[in-house]
Amino acid sequence: MLSFPMSIHIDDSVFSLFRMNPVVRSLIHILKYQGAQGAAPYLISLVSDTIFPWEPSPIWIPVPLHPARFRERGYNQAERIADAARRRWGGRVLSGVLRRSRYSGSQTRLEAEARRWNAAGNFVARPPVPDSVVLVDDVYTTGSTTQSCEDALTRAGVKTCRVMTLAYEPKLSGRDDWLLDRAKGI
């Protein structure tokens, strides 16, 4: 079994299963860009059953893709991650609650401030919503996407929104991450 640092609590409401490293980065990229949907359950399977820090049987809400991006990929990687988490830790996945209100393009090349502006107002939530949810995404970089999602969910009536991602990259900017992947030919 692979061994690398896991379980990063970014704050009380944000939890990432892995610190970004070359193996995790490769698995996330093949999940997102090469159609390897089995990478999500594989990464979840590497995590201890006792690692999940919140209430049992949560309501998992995946960060949605814009319909154009969904048509391009054929699936939403955040939905695959949420479904793998549901199978591992229980609960249910609600995919239709949150949606993208506009197409903003990829944030991989943007710095933190540009990411915040790019993500602001991109999401709307459709009531009724549960009181407590776990928002699911692939990578937590600056928190701009998840903050925009949380804002929409809160406006719709969610009282407690937590975030779970597969990975957290604390040091690289989005542009540096993109340049590193580009240098590797990914």
10-23 residue pLDDT tens: 777 899 999 888 99
Contact 27, 77 (CB under 8 A): no
Per the prediction, the chain carries an average pLDDT of: 81
* pLDDT at 3 exceeding the cut of 50: no
Rama region for 120: left / alpha / beta (φ>0; ψ in -120 to 50; rest): beta
105-148 residue pLDDT tens: 554 554 545 444 444 467 899 889 999 999 999 999 888 889 99
Residue 100 — very low, low, confident or very high, per pLDDT cuts 50/70/90?
Answer: confident
Hey, what domains does the chain have and what are their CATH numbers?
6-184 (3.40.50)
Instruction: List alpha helices for 46-135, DSSP H.
Output: 67-73, 77-89, 112-119
Q: What is the pTM of this model?
A: 0.79
Shortest CA distance to 92 belongs to which of 68, 118, 60, 63?
60
Question: In this predicted structure, what is the pLDDT of residue 115?
Answer: 44
Listed range (23-37, 58-72, 97-111, 171-185) with the worst mean pLDDT: 171-185
Residue 97 — very low, low, confident or very high, per pLDDT cuts 50/70/90?
Answer: very high
Shortest CA distance to 167 belongs to which of 6, 1, 4?
6
- Residue 152: helix, strand or coil by DSSP? helix
